[in-house]
Amino acid sequence: MNKMKLIELIARHTREVLPELEAHQFIPSDQLVDLGANSVDRAEIAMLVQESLGLSVPRVQLFGPKNIGELADLFLEKLDAV
Amino acid sequence: MLSKPVITGMGVIAAIGQGKAAFITGLLEGKHAFGVMQRPGRQRDSAYIGAEIGKITFSPAITKQTLHASSFSSQAALVVVQEAWDEARLFDVDPMRIGLIVGGSNIQQRELVQVHEGYRDRCAFLRPTYGLSFMDSDVCGFCTAQFGIRGPSYTVGGASASGQLAIVQAAQAVLTNQVDVCIALGALMDLSHWECRGLRALGAMGSDRYESEPALACRPFDRDHDGFIFGECCGAVVVESMESSKRRGLEPYAALRGWGIVMDGNRNPDPSLEGETQAIQKALAASGLPPAQIDYVNPHGTGSIAGDRVELDALRACQLTGAYVNATKSLIGHGLSAAGTVEVIATLLQMQAGRLHPSRNLENPIDSTWNWVSDRSVDYPIENALTLSMGFGGINTAMYWQRHHQA
């Protein structure tokens, strides 16, 4: 899994929760809040990504990343630690 | 003192159609959609019969995001509230003066079972939104967010009388001036295979006698009835004072002249002649009109052997033998929490149409002395109607509706 693939995965699950973003081209600097995701949506997206990766990240650690690029970095770091 | 509450907007969905026009057409034509239920989570080593809603058409105002996040019960609520909202022009009312009462408890059982079964072996990945969606009041959340409602919104429960209780609660909110307008929703009861099994084991839901002929299963007041048949439905009515409706130039459907709510003091599902009679008498007394003025009764009429008989006995005890009677559940099934609201809508639409809908499968009435509307619709101008609901736990409700005539 590389960063690009992870961003694609985040994008896929973001579109699942926010179908209005179907045509949006995701870039690493995208912030989920700016894309219209409220706190419940963000929790949903993060959980769907974790399930796809077979990874469980404590909720509190998910507050750190500021955009989907940083979120992808966090998940990559966790994957490497497994 | 405000005048009697009136109904100025309605929205409805049932297996026979979405929206008032399709619904009343379906009722008057005697349509039905009974079959072995197909919705995921409804069957488990079973072939329960029921009437399920087809594909729902959503207003573009309801986003895909909302639809993705919402339960089936919430989706049905959004659709019917939208219809009632537009008709009653609630976009012209101060949102702080609009309330929403949701009738029903434990309404999303099938959705919950789907989550529990789907995440049994991967509970670490449970969707966080479950923390919101498991509560019935999530329906209040979705609707108030969608429509910007800022007055009180909460749920009320009374088993199969919930839909009428919601209207009573809405009427009280209007009469006590908590709000100018209050929407009452009879929420869609989304049964899972567990509730179907329990209701059948209890002897309340119809048996498998008609498994090979589902169209014959739902037969209120017929000698061959053997229990209720479930039907998905949902309805919303807009309750307000005559004064409030005049401010927006609306012509109401009908006025609510009175109601009665009486408990039997009995936890069980069996009906009570005394309780039903008293609820009807309270509604009649509140109306200030003699029983003979009632020319149409929309009964609870589920198809329960004991329930159908006791209900006719109660109507007779209240001297209502002159009224026309039909059975809305014979066409749409029993919506449980939604039934009370949806059947009030059926009553007011028949009032507006000047026509009474037929009752399916009423081939040999358990009592032939009543003015049944059986195999075909009848032209009849309803002036005063009584609608009844009864629920497990010994709750009986009756509502008295008087047609509104344009000034």
Is B129 part of the contact surface with chain A (CB cutoff 8 Å)?
yes
Cα–Cα dist A70/A7, whole Å: 10
What are the residue boundaries of the structural domains of chain B, listed by start? 6-247, 257-403
Q: Do B65 and A44 touch (CB under 8 A)?
A: no
pTM (2 d.p.): 0.96
- Summarize pLDDT for B307-353 with one digit per residue, the tens: 999 999 999 999 999 999 999 999 999 999 999 999 999 999 999 99
A·B CB contacts under 8 A: 36
Chain B residues in contact with A57 (beta carbon < 8 A): none
Nearest by CB to B127, from A18, A19, A44: name it.
Answer: A44
Q: What is the pLDDT of residues B7-55, one digit of tens each?
A: 999 999 999 999 999 999 999 999 999 999 999 999 999 999 999 999 9
Nearest CA distance, A43 vs chain B (angstrom) = 6
- Please tell me the distance from the alpha carbon of residue B273 to that of residue B400, in angstroms, as a whole number: 19
Give the residue from B86, B103, B83, B18 showing the smallest Cα distance to B399.
B103
Average per-residue pLDDT in chain B? 97
Do domains B6-247 and B257-403 share one topology? The answer is: yes
Instruction: For residues B42 and B179, give the distance between their C-alpha atoms in angstroms, rounded to a whole number.
Output: 39
In whole angstroms, what separates CA B285 from the centre of its chain?
24
pLDDT tens-place string over residues A12-58: 999 999 999 999 999 999 999 999 999 999 999 999 999 999 998 88
CB contact under 8 A, A44 and B129: yes
DSSP state for residue B96 in the 8-state scheme: G
* CB-CB under 8 Å, A19 with B65: yes
> Residue A45 has what pLDDT?
96
Question: Beta-carbon neighbour count of residue A65 at 10 Å?
Answer: 17
Q: What is the pLDDT of residues B57-99, one digit of tens each?
A: 999 999 999 999 999 999 999 999 999 999 999 999 999 999 9
B134 CB neighbours in chain A (<8 A) are: none
Chain B: nearest CA to A32, how far in angstroms? 14
Instruction: Read off the pLDDT of each residue in B103-112 and give the average, rounded to a whole number.
Output: 98
A19 CB neighbours in chain B (<8 A) are: 64-65, 67-68
Instruction: Name every residue in A having a CB less than 8 A away from some CB of B.
Output: 16-20, 36, 40-41, 43-44, 47-48, 50-51, 56
The residue with tokens 């358990």 is: B366
C-alpha to C-alpha distance for A21 and B290, rounded to whole angstroms: 61
Distances (CA, A) of B38 to B44, B51, B201, B227: 11, 10, 20, 20
Report the Cα B148 to chain-centroid distance in Å: 24
DSSP 8-state symbol, A31:
-
Q: How far is A17 from chain B (nearest CA, A)?
A: 6
**Shortest Cα distance from B322 to chain A (angstroms)?**
56
Comparing CB atoms, the residue among A20, A36, A47 nearest residue B128 is A47
Q: Stretch B94-121: mean pLDDT, rounded?
A: 97
Q: What is the nearest CA distance from B134 to chain A, expressed in angstroms?
A: 14
Question: Residue B2: its pLDDT value, please?
Answer: 60
Mutate to test the interface with A, among B58, B66, B68, B121 (most CBs of A within 10 A): B68
Class of domain B6-247: alpha beta
Select from B63, B65, B142 the residue whose CB has the most chain A CBs within 10 Å, as the one to mutate to test that interface: B65
Query: Which of chain A's residues have a Cβ under 8 Å away from the Cβ of B65?
Result: 17-20, 36, 41
What kind and span of H or E run contains B186?
A: strand B181-186
Q: Which domains does chain A have, with CATH numbers?
A: 3-81 (1.10.1200.10)
Report in angstroms the alpha-carbon separations of B56 from B19, B79, B260.
10, 8, 35
From A4's Cα to the closest Cα of chain B, the distance in A is 23
CATH of domain B257-403: 3.40.47.10
pLDDT on residue B25: 98
pLDDT 10s digits, B371-398: 999 999 999 999 999 999 999 999 999 9
Interface predicted TM-score (ipTM) of this complex, two decimals: 0.89
